[in-house]
Structure 1
């Protein structure tokens, strides 16, 4: 008699676990602004409208009003602000440099978060990233701290998210990345014009430091240890996860993981998804500025619109996925494959069509909005699939998964810079065709080998000796 009301009160939007999702949302927002800041700042850092100047050369001249001359080169607007003669190939290498730092720490930090707890590991990564962003506007070392901060979140959700709410909670938290991308792209150009490009890093580094205070105050690794959780909600979470193995582990079954095709299906999905996403996140301001021929202020606003759609689709996709599961309309594996298919196929179609409608301003903008929006439907697909197949090793496997994604980002950033340096029109077409081909490969592999049940090597085993 008391069990059903307790369960209903434990699933409300005012519950503590949804508060944790909001805090993670803000933390992800902060982290992505620090990473994507380079994408909008580089338009101001590279003086492409003047004669090439020596690297690290500073411009001289009177301070101009950027609002009266929005299309004026940033190098002419601010005296003392460095302008760099970087080629597209060089810019591609710079964009991929942050990924190197993230790649170095993804797997180790995910493993350590699973053993020692994700709260301090993720919080330290966010704090270090914010401080580096404040101190060094163009530090590739930023990536090392971001790698620590990205992983480990699934360790928290493995203990906080009931199975029928995983899509909702993880997408609420994950949508912060899309919203952060929208925010930095929208205001980054204005900050560059009004204050200079270094302030992009200073301002959002400061925001990250504030988020750290909220993180360390609210986030706890386990609902049993949280001092503010209600007894009803605690019982609801613990009972819903009663059949899930959550005991601490000191060893990782690497051989079993290496032979597990469902894991490779997840890895291939991450690789494909991150390939196109990196191109969009990194080069969207450059594409809008060069193809649509708009000012830096308009470029920032237009570049932010796709990520507003992405943030919205992330949350709605999670809600829809859990609705289908809670009503038992589809099986779990069917839901994961459905949202993975939508998140890989739809943006591929939009990307392939994009070069052929470059003459239409409205159609181009619509397609640019649809690509990130539809792509983020993957968040209810293979993105959280590690929680289904191996919840005990969720953070470690998320580190490996994001490692594959970052590897795709490194390759795609460098390849995009090379292709568009050859010829702008044909280069962009080849960039989008290549991204669509990678997406289709990942989709076919995931649909063939993807699973949603806990694998044998990830299940609890009873010790037979002391």
Structure 2
């Protein structure tokens, strides 16, 4: 009887680790909502009914457009709603500015979370991001430059929150439950409520939680026993740079974020301009893909852990299977999208399937750093998301440029290019991806710079 707690899953769905996943789910849902809210609101904020005559259009580029709009924010406020003369190139810069901020803090916040604990860093990032969201409408009245600054700082706060999660999961998630727990957490004034829950009931590791049961504590600690909890050492940067399995993860993130960022930021614009749907219906339709994405994320995590717990497939096979599904299926949907614009139903179905199937990657390379280097998971997740956000910046800016030239051919080129990037990342991951703990990430290895 004394050995049973180490082999059973503890309290199951009533356990603290699932409560942690649920709270983290609402936190992630809040941050995603804060990112995409402007994408929906910008349809009403930008005067799309008064297009500039090509003869009078500015040829000075988006930078001059930003500077000239800085002093026009208050003047463009009408009696009903503010209307801003932001070009598609300017909108692309606004959308990508939050990614610039995330990149600035991904690596340092991940490293610091590994040293000092993730609880404070993650909670502070969520709180700052939530507060800045409240100031975004006011910032728009003072000019587009201030909007970009607010979004950049908000990205820095979200970067702090994103990366700290994997430091926590390295200590809280048993290996056979990682896909399930991280998928529950990642599928998605609420932000401030989440902060209260976060600071009061979340702890950096199960050993110090005052309310955890003995059975659950023993289950978690015995499951992650192979992962050292020794004092922090220097990060083996040289070994990481030479590690092809890590580069496979990085390329997977780059490909995945390329298309996902386009869908997150430009979906309301696509629905409005291509399907000619009003903003009220556009907001409703824009929410459907994210509902599908959340459902597929949780379903994929459950399926991945089921295959692993029953020993039906090896760990690396599961990772590559879900990575393939998460990159190949949305690519096929993206390629088909320009050819079904005449069908409203078909277009909506494909737009729902793209983010839904993309999130199957959450059980693939997204959590692969927990397999290959669990003690450096937070630091490596920061680098991985840095690659992904770099792709998001490029894809957002490229999309704004392409659709500004010609809407129909522009969108077609956007989706074709996204599919090509996805295929590159998939092939690279299938060739070089691994799931074994790397030698430099094991306790006995003391690699130094």
TM-score, normalising length from structure 1? Answer: 0.87
Partners of 1:161 and 1:168 lie apart in 2 by: 9
Matched with 2:92 is 92
Partners of 2:393 and 2:51 lie apart in 1 by: 29
> Aligned ranges for residues 293-332 of structure 1 at < 5 Å?
293-332=276-315
Unaligned runs of 5+ in 1: 62-77, 177-205
Partners of 1:460 and 1:344 lie apart in 2 by: 34
| Aligned partner of residue 221 in structure 1, secondary structure | coil
Q: 1:405 aligns with which of 359, 378, 388?
A: 388
Q: 1:159 aligns with which of 162, 171, 174?
A: 171
The reply on whether 1:241 has 2:224 as its aligned counterpart is: yes
Matched with 2:125 is 125
The reply on whether 1:18 has 2:18 as its aligned counterpart is: yes
Distance 1:381 1:254, change over 3 A: same
Matched with 2:104 is 104
Partners of 1:331 and 1:89 lie apart in 2 by: 46
> Aligned ranges for residues 376-387 of structure 1 at < 5 Å?
376-387=359-370
Partners of 1:240 and 1:207 lie apart in 2 by: 33
Which 10-residue stretch deviates more, 306-315 or 2-11?
2-11
User: Is the 8 Å Cα contact of residues 439 and 445 (structure 2) preserved in structure 1?
Assistant: no
Matched with 2:27 is 27
Partners of 2:47 and 2:274 lie apart in 1 by: 17
Unaligned runs of 5+ in 2: 58-68, 138-146
User: Is the 8 Å Cα contact of residues 247 and 392 (structure 1) preserved in structure 2?
Assistant: no
Partners of 1:88 and 1:425 lie apart in 2 by: 14
Matched with 1:375 is 358
Matched with 2:187 is 175
Q: Deviations over 1:112-148 (max 9, x none)?
A: 0001000001011111111222234432221111111
| Aligned partner of residue 349 in structure 1, secondary structure | helix
Which 10-residue stretch deviates more, 329-338 or 145-154?
145-154
Which 10-residue stretch deviates more, 33-42 or 411-420?
33-42
Matched with 1:183 is none
User: Is the 8 Å Cα contact of residues 6 and 222 (structure 2) preserved in structure 1?
Assistant: no
Distance 1:398 1:5, change over 3 A: closer
User: Is the 8 Å Cα contact of residues 22 and 172 (structure 1) preserved in structure 2?
Assistant: yes
Distance 1:454 1:339, change over 3 A: same
Matched with 2:160 is 148
Partners of 1:408 and 1:318 lie apart in 2 by: 25
> Aligned ranges for residues 216-365 of structure 1 at < 5 Å?
216-365=199-348
Q: Deviations over 1:235-292 (max 9, x none)?
A: 1100111112232323100000000000000000000000000000000000011111
TM-score, normalising length from structure 2? Answer: 0.90
Matched with 2:60 is none
| Aligned partner of residue 354 in structure 2, secondary structure | helix
User: Is the 8 Å Cα contact of residues 123 and 215 (structure 1) preserved in structure 2?
Assistant: yes
Partners of 2:338 and 2:384 lie apart in 1 by: 30
Matched with 1:39 is 39
